[in-house]
């Protein structure tokens, strides 16, 4: 019998959805544990960081790191797990591109603290206390992770072997990747996106498509009476499907919601949002500057629309403040 693989799953700045997607393997969990020891998985196991630190380098065969790098703890673990792992996978949109936490790059640390610790409706903080990375108390010095100014992708912090995109990744893709490793299959070149296809969503989308992508005004999904059949773009709703890798099974569109781009851009695309932005602008059916402006007014939030999951991964990486 082949020796079992050592498997680790870690969450950085994440919602937990990626870990849940791992749990979503359901009965396939038995297949996984048949082939692997789960050596580290904070959501499910009580392994301590110091236990990981004591593992020999390269001890872990496969680490699925989900979540972005938001604070010093995320960064520490990213570096630690890199050292301890043979294969480090950026698992899910946050590790891959910054994900939803990456939207925080529209603000800086000060603005975020101000909002969270002073202004938010549910905050009562009369002493204006802010988290301090180091705080002396009579018992000694307390330490909490340092909150960084920027949200980074995993690859912006450590060397990453593969990217498995999605918010969260489609569980079936995880199982496929896992079994490929178990079976010793030829792995793709380092740096590849795995568990997703090169072609974008439309390739798998069942909605009816034509070349009639000319739009006078863009609509939010609630503004149309979706016929459930026609391409969202042709109904005037921005769907990021054309600029987003397939592999998820067109889950959102199958659920009658337009694609938001969590699987990230196809290969050779230098910026995750600019291509879709360009395509959408191109679809505006007017040459009149005023009409063009009117149509663009209906694209209410370009960053949130085209870079929902990818601000840290984008060319600009963060808002200039």
Partner 1 sequence: MENKVNEKIFKPKIVGFLCNWCSYTGADLAGTSRMKYDESIRVVRVMCSGRVDPTFVLKAFKEGADGVLICGCHPRDCHYHEGNYKCLRRYHLLKKYIIQMGIEPDRLRLEWISASEGAEFAKLVNEFTQKIAELGPSKVKQNIETFS
Partner 2 sequence: MKELRIGVYVCHCGTNIAAMVDVEKLAKELSEVKNVIVARDYKYMCSDPGQDLIIKDIQEHKLNRIVVAACSPRMHEVTFRKALEKAGLNPYYLEMANIREQCSWVHTNRNEATIKAKDLILAAIKRVKWHEPLDKRSVPINEATLIIGGGISGISAALELANAGKKVYLVEKSNKLGGIMNQIDLTFPFLNSARQILDRKLSEVVNHPNIEIFLNTEIGEIFGYIGNFETQINGNKIVFGNIIVATGLKPFDASRIPEYGYGKLPDVITSLEFENMLKSGDIKTKSGKQPQSIAIIHCVGSRNEKYNVYCSRVCCLTALKYINQINSVLPETSIFDIYADMRTFGKYCEEFYSSTSRKNVTFLVFDQKNELPKIREASSSDKCNLIINFREKLSGEIIEVPADMVILMVGMEAHEAAKEVAHKVGVSMCGNNFYIERHPKLDPVATTTDGVYVVGTCQAPKDIPDSISQAKAAAARILATIEAKTVDVEVTTAFINEDLCCGCQTCIKVCPYSAISFDAVKKVSIVNEVLCKGCGTCAAACPTGAAKAKHFTDVQILSQIEGLFSYA
Binding site for partner 2 (CB under 8 A): 198-203, 209-214, 231, 233, 241-243, 246, 265-270, 275-276, 278-279, 282-283
Shortest Å, Cβ 51 to partner 2:
44
For 179: left if phi > 0, alpha if psi spans -120 to 50, otherwise beta; the answer is alpha
Of these partners, partner 2, partner 1, none, which one is at the site of residue 63 (CB under 5 to 8 Å by kind)?
Answer: none
* Strand intervals (E) in the chain: 5-11, 36-40, 60-66, 69-71, 85-91, 134-137, 140-143, 147-152, 162-164, 192-193
Distance CA 129, CA 316 (A): 32
First to last CA, the chain: 57
- 15, 43, 112, 316: which one binds partner 1 (CB under 8 A): 316
Residue that is written with structure tokens 């700045």 in the block: 13
Nearer to partner 2, 127 or 211 (CB): 211
Q: Using CA atoms, how far apart are residues 98 and 13, in angstroms rounded to an integer?
A: 9
Q: Which is nearer to partner 2, 10 or 232 (CB)?
A: 232
According to the binding rule CB under 8 A, does residue 289 interact with partner 1?
yes
Query: What does the alpha-carbon distance between residue 100 and residue 14 come to, in Å, rounded to a whole number?
Result: 8
Residues between 133 and 172 that touch partner 1 (CB under 8 A):
148-150, 152, 156
How far is the C-alpha of 38 from the C-alpha of 174, rounded, in Å?
Answer: 15
Closest distance of CB 197 from partner 1, Å: 22
Give whichever of 43 and 316 is closer to partner 2, judged by the CB atom.
Answer: 316
* Residue 308 touches partner 1, criterion: CB under 8 A: no
71 close to 46: Cβ distance less than 8 angstroms: no
41 vs 232, which CB is nearer to partner 2?
Answer: 232
For residues 20 and 167, the answer to whether their CB atoms sit within 8 Å is no
Stretch that binds partner 1, among 114-122, 222-230, 246-254, 299-307 (CB under 8 A): 299-307
The CA distance from 274 to 305, in Å, is 11
Pairing of strands 147-152, 69-71: antiparallel
Determine if residue 26 is left, alpha or beta; phi over 0 gives left, psi from -120 to 50 gives alpha, anything else beta. left
Tell me which stretch binds partner 1 (CB under 8 A): 1-9, 169-177, 184-192, 279-287: 279-287
Minimum distance of partner 2 from residue 141's CB (angstroms)? 43
Residue 165 binds which of partner 1, partner 2, none (CB < 5-8 A, kind-dependent): none
Residue 80 interface partner, choices partner 1, partner 2, none, CB cut-off 5-8 Å depending on type = none
Closest to partner 2 by CB, 179 vs 269, is 269
DSSP string covering 45-80, please?
----HHHHHHSPTT-EEEEEEESBEEEHHHHHHHHH
CB closer to partner 1, 131 vs 304: 304
Token pair of 170, please?
């489609």
* For partner 2, the closer CB: 168 or 265: 265
Contacting range for partner 1; rule: CB under 8 A; set: 59-67, 83-91, 189-197, 302-310 = 302-310
Residue ranges in contact with partner 1 by CB under 8 A? 106, 148-150, 152, 156, 270-271, 273-275, 277-278, 280-282, 284, 287, 289, 292-293, 295-296, 299, 301-303, 306, 314-321
């Amino acid at each position: 019998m082949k020796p079992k693989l050592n498997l680790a799953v870690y969450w950085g700045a994440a919602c937990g959805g990626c870990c849940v997607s791992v749990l979503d393997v359901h009965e396939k969990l038995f297949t996984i544990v048949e082939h692997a020891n789960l050596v580290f998985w904070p959501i499910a196991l009580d392994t301590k960081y110091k236990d990981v630190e004591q593992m020999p380098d390269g001890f872990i065969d496969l680490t699925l790191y989900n979540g972005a790098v938001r604070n010093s703890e995320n960064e520490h673990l990213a570096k630690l797990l890199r050292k301890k792992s043979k294969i480090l996978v950026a698992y899910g949109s946050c590790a891959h591109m910054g994900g939803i936490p990456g939207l925080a790059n529209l603000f800086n640390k000060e603005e975020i603290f101000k909002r969270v610790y002073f202004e938010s409706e549910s905050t009562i903080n009369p002493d204006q206390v802010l988290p301090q990375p180091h705080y002396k108390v009579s018992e000694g010095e307390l330490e909490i992770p340092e909150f960084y100014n920027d949200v980074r992708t995993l690859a912006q912090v450590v060397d990453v072997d593969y990217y498995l995109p999605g918010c969260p990744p489609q569980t079936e893709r995880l199982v496929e990747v896992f079994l490929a490793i178990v079976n010793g299959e030829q792995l793709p070149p380092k740096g590849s996106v795995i568990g997703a296809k090169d072609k974008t969503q439309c390739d798998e989308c069942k909605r009816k498509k034509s070349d009639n992508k000319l739009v006078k005004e863009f609509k939010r999904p609630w503004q149309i009476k979706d016929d459930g059949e026609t391409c969202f773009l042709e109904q005037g709703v921005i769907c990021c499907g054309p600029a987003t890798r397939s592999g998820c099974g067109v889950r959102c569109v199958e659920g009658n919601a337009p694609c938001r781009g969590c699987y990230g851009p196809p290969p050779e695309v230098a910026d995750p949002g600019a291509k879709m932005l360009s395509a959408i602008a191109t679809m505006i059916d007017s040459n009149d500057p005023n009409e063009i402006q009117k149509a663009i007014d209906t694209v209410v939030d370009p960053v949130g629309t085209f870079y929902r999951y990818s601000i840290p991964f984008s060319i600009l990486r963060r808002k200039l403040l």
